[in-house]
Amino acid sequence: MKKGDIVKGRVTAIKPYGAFVKIDEDTDGLVHISEISVHYVNRIEDHLTIGRIYEFEVISAEKGKISLSLKRRKKKKKRLDIRLKSGFEPLREALEYWIENYEKRSYRD
């Protein structure tokens, strides 16, 4: 197991500082509270459930200690590849119209 690997693991315990995860029979990891969400985490129990399986990204695996991240996995999942077909052309055309008609507008009731 190395940094960047995606692993599935079952949450086995939750402490105020993080959650313990069972990856396989011989491997346990820890998700620190700062690696659960990009938003403020007051209670880990609001984000993780004991007994449930999640996908985590391995942050480090040194000397038998495995650090995991849930928020990094979620960030990667939500990435979209969006390409504009017409670029800014519609905005440029609309801007010309707005400028031409700005003086013609009446803001009186």
Domains of the chain: 6-102 (2.40.50.140)
Q: Taking the complete model, does pTM exceed 0.85, yes or no?
A: no
What CA–CA distance (Å, rounded) separates 25 from 53? Answer: 14
- The gap from C-alpha 64 to its chain's centroid, in whole angstroms, comes to 26
Per-residue pLDDT of 16-60, as tens digits, reads: 999 999 999 888 999 999 999 989 999 999 999 999 999 999 999
- 33 versus 92: which is more confidently predicted? 33
Cα–Cα distances (Å) from 86 to 91, 92, 93, in that order, read 10, 11, 12
